Amino acid sequence: MTTQQVAEAMAKVRAAVSSRVVGQDEVVDQALVAFLARGHALLEGVPGTAKTLLIRVLAGALHARFGRIQFTPDLMPSDITGINVLRDGGRTAEFRGGPIFTDLLLADEINRAPAKTQSALLEAMQERQVTVDGAARPLGEAQCRELRTAVDAVKVAPEVRDYIANIVRATREDPALTLGGSPRASVALFRVGRAAALMAGRDYVTPDDVKGYAFPVLRHRITVAPEVEVEGRTSDEVLQALLLRVPAPQ
């Protein structure tokens, strides 16, 4: 698909989702960018703010499979990954995949699950595979592979690459932060910048693409120093000041 075709397709998806999830255009855009970038999104909010509806409607607009897991203290890794079922009197085993084998998955209240279960989810998120009885099983890609492949063709100029690296490096050097972004944060910002450019109908990334998504990409990857928190400053305020200091390419 061409850049323009992808932009038009995503505009239709955005319109379909926004017609059901009203008043959350920024969240919808960020969810679409995360999807195109092959990433993950952490949705926070009180009950009743359309978190589940957003993902369900998004899956429908993309003609993708939707899955949901309710995390509880007694949830086991096999409840996510699936199990091997013995057949023919125990002579053969048949794998039955769990709910992780889908296109868009909503993992609800992941903080309630045991550590082992969370680890199984993290393996799927990072490695795009699960391990069952010592055997790795790839998850595969969503049905919208063509849309995501187009992201890889978006050009990123050397000066924009340096800008991404400088932003993330600045988070590690900022005295207002006790924990800055890792190299993985640079990779995430790079991918998201490409996806944002594609959503805008461009085949190249601008500094504004990077700056606009620096907050959702970095805010959960950094830790504000205690003395800064006491002053009432948030992670977004620290990032805003940091972005003002890091020169953007012209």
Q: Is the pLDDT of residue 49 over 90?
A: no
Q: What is the mean pLDDT of the chain?
A: 91
Residue 37 covered by a domain: no
Specify whether 161 is located in the same domain as 232: yes
For residues 212-240, give the mean pLDDT. Answer: 94
Domain shared by 240 and 155, yes or no: yes
- Which residues is 94 bridged to in the sheet? 85
pLDDT beyond 80 at 46: yes
157 and 97, same structural domain? no
Same domain for 157 and 235, yes or no, is: yes
Portion of the chain with pLDDT greater than 90, in percent: 69
Q: Are 104 and 156 members of one domain? A: no
> Is residue 17 domain-resident?
no
Q: Which residue has the higher pLDDT, 206 or 89?
A: 206
- Are residues 107 and 181 both part of a single domain? no
CB contact set of 39 (below 8 Å; sequence gap of 6+): 188, 191, 192
79 and 100, same structural domain?
A: yes
Answer whether residue 54 is part of any domain: no
- Note whether 225 and 171 are same-domain residues: yes
Number of domains in the chain: 2
* Per-residue confidence band for 142, with pLDDT thresholds at 50, 70 and 90: low
Domain edge (last residue) among 88, 122, 141: 141
Query: Which residue has better confidence, 73 or 149?
Result: 73
Residues 198 and 232 in one domain: yes
Report pTM. 0.86
Residue 84 lies in a domain: yes
CATH for 98 = 3.40.50.300
Q: Of 141, 159, 184, which one is at a domain's C-terminal end? A: 141
Class of residue 12 by CB neighbours under 10 A (exposed 0-12, middle 13-18, buried 19+)? exposed
**For residue 36, what are the contacts with CB-CB under 8 A and spacing of at least 6?**
10, 147, 148, 151, 195, 198, 199
Mean pLDDT calculated for residue range 174-202? 94
Q: Which residue range(s) make up the domain with 205?
A: 151-245
Residue 32 included in any domain: no
pLDDT at residue 68 in the model: 92
CA distance 10 to 134: 39
pLDDT of residue 23: 87
Residue 55 lies in a domain: no
The reported pLDDT for the residue numbered 88 is 80
